[in-house]
Chains A and B, each alone.
Chain A
Amino acid sequence: MPSGPCSYQQRTGPGSRPFTELVRSAGVEDAAAAERLHAVMAALRVALRAELRRRGLWDKPPSYLGVYGWESWISKVERLRPPGDARAELFGEGALDELLADCYAFIFVDRLRTLQAQLLVKPNVDGLVFRNIRNFLYERQKEHDPLGFRVFEVTSAAVRKCLAEGSLHLLEGDPRIRNDTVLGFDPAAAAPSRQVDLRPWAGRVEDELLPELVTARAEHQDEVAGRLAERLRELRQEGVESVRFKDLLDPLKDCVRERWAAILQGDETIETEPELGATPRAWLERPGRIYEERERFRALVACVLESLERLQAPAKTRAQLSTLWQYLRIHCADPGNEEGAAAGGAAEAAGGRRVRLGRPSDRAIAQLLRIPRERLPQLFATLGRLVERCRAPAGEPPSMRLAVAGEGSG
């Protein structure tokens, strides 16, 4: 049997449509079933690799997409497999295998009915499968690389704002503002002939806009995008006439990730306050890969967000609670925080302090979020109560009358 992704075409001839054939024959257990599955996995692997490259994810750690325990997409498993080993065609790249299995389930298990529905009116659904591959990666990236996703979201909004105002112009590439989009300060500007080094600019932007760049919500997010748009316009004064969106985005992402990691690195303890010992202290653990766990996590996040909107508290407190909650959401999914998902890992330290490995201290969180450290225990306690109520079986968002800890309303 030939190995490699083109083997399917060699077996079935050009013009075959592995995805459509699989959808059309779903549930049919015939002699060709294994062959069809084999062909789909090979074609899906090729498409997945191409899309990872297109999104600039091929050179990033697999943990950015929720695949943990591998340093890169090209793992040792493949290299050690003997040439000609037929299994290498289906499996052999540890990280990519995991992603492939999840992608297969996303498309051909969860969405099989919708694909079959489209087959009622289309001759084939291969195009729809490619669209689903993009949707799958979009969802994984949003879920597992929240820092990167938030920076993309705000930067994209800032660029769109500049385009609408006419301070930036679309020179070439995807008009939907993607990695290959080229932007210029003059409609007649030439595309950059080489990559523009925007790291110094990104460092200044990150100094000014963190933590709001990643923790701001709703209309505050628009304000941050507005401020970033101002910084974008200043690029022209630094001699930049045109830039590829990817060259703009990547340094910003890198700076934010570095700052995030630098503040939290090595800070592996949190302290529980004795006087708040009986009060639940908010913390989030990364949901597992089981569907129900992810649904519960989603419901919890939605419930706490809704509760925060209804909470009777001074505006400043609400803003701090919102920032802290956004931080917790991001921290628990942060790919740089692989231990963040681990439960347990707790020990009693001297003085009765409870030490939990892998969780940053109040000092580090206060520095990162620019919230006074002395406020954090109260804020954590309030969030802890909200989380606890949202986890309750009734699932009702906590009452608007819920008091903010330490603010005297009971």
Chain B
Amino acid sequence: MSGRQGQDPAQAAGGAAPDAAPGDLFVVRELAEFEVEWAVVARDPRDPALLLVVPADAHPATGSADVRVPARSSDGPLNLRCAYAVRLPGSFFAADLRSGRLAAPDVSRAERRVDELERGVLRGEPLGQETDRDPDYQDWIADVVAPAAEALTAAARSGAPVRPRGPAPEPPRRRQVPSTVAMALAASLVLAAVGLSWRTVALQREVERLSRPLFDVPAGEVLLGGDTRSMDLNPVLIRAGRGASHLLLTVVLGSDLPAGGTGHLEVQDPGGRPLWRSPLLALTPAAEVHIVLPRNLLPGPIFRLALYRSGSTVPFQLRTLKIANRP
């Protein structure tokens, strides 16, 4: 299928996987730059033609939103990154790119985890919460898992590969070198070159995306303070189409806030890990603050908005937000 641009990946590959089912693992040729497989964890109960798919990779760190498939399990070791679930047509995957099959208990755990995440009720295991703070884990998610899920979402939305192109480029070939030191240097350069080429492609894609005007941006309003409880756990719903790349949040500061203070707004993942922090902000009662959030900043449909007073590490106001599909 490589090189047959613009086609459905499954058709181009010589046929869809008609029996793609929960437990199946697939790879996608157009997304080969991302070192992940895709695990089918369920059929969408609202639309059985859609599969619920999560990225699966062999990085050993397991965060609070992930499901760990141990080494001795069928097709392990893997981590199923359930915060990055994508819904896509059952015909999306190519039959000849099925790469494995997960054991039923692992699939069930992943399905439950996605459900907990989408309902905003994930408690998270303590060991996983420790991993959420691990810089190496955060980098892996930011560099590999999140862009992979974004690319698959785009592919699923368009019905075609997100970046149709030829075979993945070969890494630079090593020259024959005369010494151990040179060999080590060559290995380091290969690593650097692969990393740079990936980053260059990602940056080009980002620049193209950001150059386009934003139209019909989904918007939501969040009240921090006022009559609401300071730690309201009922999520604020924001209706957004599947393709929405940004969200416009209007944050209204409560009229009961003490005047004259300063603080920061922070966007967090469901486990409380900071994703973005605002510059210093005057906490003027009843003031409005507008934030345009890139959708790919968010790990999934659930996220949190926290307000911190200056000098405090405990959130003064905290809201959970949920992105719901706009019909």
Which residues of A approach B to under 8 Å, CB–CB? 4-6, 9-10, 14-15, 46-47, 49-50, 53-54, 110-111, 113-114, 116-118, 120-124, 126-128, 130-132, 135, 138-139, 142, 152-153, 156-157, 160, 164-165, 176-177, 217-219, 221-223, 226, 291, 295, 298, 301-302, 305-306, 308-309
Is the beta-carbon distance between B35 and A131 smaller than 8 angstroms?
Answer: yes
Q: Which of B132-140, B147-155, B222-230, B255-263 contacts A (4 or more CB under 8 A)?
A: B132-140
Q: B185 contacts which chain A residues (CB < 8 A)?
A: 50
- Please judge, given known A-B contacts A6-B183, A113-B75, A176-B139, whether A120 and B130 are in contact too, CB under 8 Å: no
Is the beta-carbon distance between B176 and A117 smaller than 8 angstroms?
Answer: no
Q: B57 contacts which chain A residues (CB < 8 A)?
A: 114
Q: A46 contacts which chain B residues (CB < 8 A)?
A: 180, 183-184, 187
B200 within 8 A of A: no
Is the beta-carbon distance between B176 and A9 smaller than 8 angstroms?
Answer: yes
**B35 nearest CB neighbor, chain A only:** A128
Q: B136 contacts which chain A residues (CB < 8 A)?
A: 138
B289 within 8 A of A: no
Is the beta-carbon distance between B70 and A295 smaller than 8 angstroms?
Answer: yes
Q: Report which of A5, A123, A156, A222 forms a contact with B313, defined as CB distance below 8 A.
A: A222
B204 within 8 A of A: no
B269 to chain A, nearest CB (A): 14
**A106 nearest CB neighbor, chain B only:** B60
8 Å CB contacts to A: which residues of B166-206? 167-168, 170-171, 173-180, 182-185, 187-188, 190-191, 194
**B173 nearest CB neighbor, chain A only:** A15
Q: How many residues of B contact A (CB 8 A)?
A: 57
Q: B232 contacts which chain A residues (CB < 8 A)?
A: none
8 Å CB contacts to A: which residues of B12-71? 25, 27-29, 32, 35, 37, 57-61, 70-71
Q: Report which of A122, A291, A302 forms a contact with B72, defined as CB distance below 8 A.
A: A291
B316 to chain A, nearest CB (A): 14
Q: Report which of A123, A153, A157 forms a contact with B170, defined as CB distance below 8 A.
A: A123
A185 to chain B, nearest CB (A): 18
B291 to chain A, nearest CB (A): 16
Other A-B pairs, 13, CB within 8 Å; known A4-B180, A14-B174, A126-B171: A47-B184, A49-B180, A110-B71, A111-B58, A117-B99, A120-B97, A138-B136, A139-B60, A164-B277, A217-B126, A291-B71, A295-B72, A301-B127
8 Å CB contacts to A: which residues of B108-158? 125-127, 129-130, 133-136, 139
A344 to chain B, nearest CB (A): 29
Is the beta-carbon distance between A138 and B173 smaller than 8 angstroms?
Answer: no
Q: Report which of B125, B126, B174 forms a contact with A9, defined as CB distance below 8 A.
A: B174
Which residues of B approach A to under 8 Å, CB–CB? 25, 27-29, 32, 35, 37, 57-61, 70-72, 75, 77-78, 96-97, 99-100, 125-127, 129-130, 133-136, 139, 167-168, 170-171, 173-180, 182-185, 187-188, 190-191, 194, 272, 277, 313-314
Q: A9 contacts which chain B residues (CB < 8 A)?
A: 174, 176-177
In angstroms, Cα B177 to Cα A152, docked, is: 35
A140 to chain B, nearest CB (A): 10
Q: Report which of A127, A219, A221 forms a contact with B171, defined as CB distance below 8 A.
A: A127
Is the beta-carbon distance between B75 and A306 smaller than 8 angstroms?
Answer: no
B184 to chain A, nearest CB (A): 4
Is the beta-carbon distance between A223 and B313 smaller than 8 angstroms?
Answer: yes
- Please judge, given known A-B contacts A111-B77, A121-B27, A157-B135, whether A50 and B179 are in contact too, CB under 8 Å: no
